[in-house]
Amino acid sequence: MSEHERTFVMVKPDGVQRGLIGDIVSRFEDRGLKMVGGKFMQIDQELAEEHYGEHEDKPFFDGLVDFITSGPVFAMVWEGQDATRQVRTMMGETDPAESAPGTIRGDYGLDLGRNVIHGSDHEDEGANEREIELFFDEDELVDWDQIDSSWLYE
């Protein structure tokens, strides 16, 4: 799939507390993706359990929920050609130790838990739109087609 699409991305509490929001946003801007939404927020227990619902039977589930609710996150929606897959490629692997230098987790990730960033799974059909809906109301997102940017090129 390589269509123009939106995807959900989140700088996790470790990334926020280490001051990595700006760098991460820059990487996506430089890549040509467009931000359509952004929210600095604290995730509560209910939202965390819903967001990570697919992992509820895993031994690391409680630790994952504790971590993601431990401090503010920066939730974002980015759009562009094949945006979900592009973001996943730029993030690296789930385990930072397996992530190539130059990827976000390869450059900054510490371990499986503290891996700086979340992005929708491109192999899970519809995960991007489900996660966007979970974190954002439609009126919090910008429709760039409706924004006049002709002045930029005058």
The set of catalytic residues is 118
**Residue 119 touches ligand ATP, criterion: CB under 6 A:** yes
Residue in the shown chain whose Cβ atom is closest to ligand ATP: 94
Which lies closer to ligand ATP via its Cβ, residue 15 or residue 119? Answer: 119
Task: By CB under 6 A, tell whether 40 contacts ligand ATP.
Answer: no
Q: Does 118 bind ligand ATP (CB under 6 A)?
A: yes
* Token pair for 152: 């930029």
Amino acid in position 43 = I
Q: Which of 115, 116, 122, 132 touches ligand ATP by CB under 6 A?
A: 115
State both tokens at 100: 């190539």
* In the complex, minimum distance from the CB of residue 103 to ligand ATP, in angstroms, rounded to a whole number: 12
Q: Residue 69: is it exposed, middle or buried by C-beta count within 10 angstroms (0-12/13-18/19+)?
A: middle
Site for ligand ATP contains 129 (CB under 6 A): no
Please state, in angstroms and rounded to a whole number, the distance separating the CA atoms of residues 84 and 89.
Answer: 9
User: Parallel, antiparallel, or unpaired for β 73-81 and 117-119?
Assistant: unpaired
Residue 121 Cβ vs ligand ATP, minimum distance, rounded to whole Å = 5
Total residues in contact with ligand ATP, by rule CB under 6 A: 9
Rounded CA separation 99/92 (Å): 5
Q: Which is nearer to ligand ATP, 55 or 144 (CB)?
A: 55
CA-based torsion, 45, 127, 133, 92: positive or negative: positive
> Does 34 appear as a known binding residue?
no
Out of 113, 127, 129, 141, point to the residue binding ligand ATP (CB under 6 A).
Answer: 113
- The 10 Å Cβ neighbour count of residue 54 is 11
| Residues of span 80-109 touching ligand ATP by CB under 6 A | 94
In contact, 85 and 122? CB cutoff 8 Å: yes
Q: Which residues are annotated as a binding site for ATP?
A: 12, 60, 88, 94, 105, 115
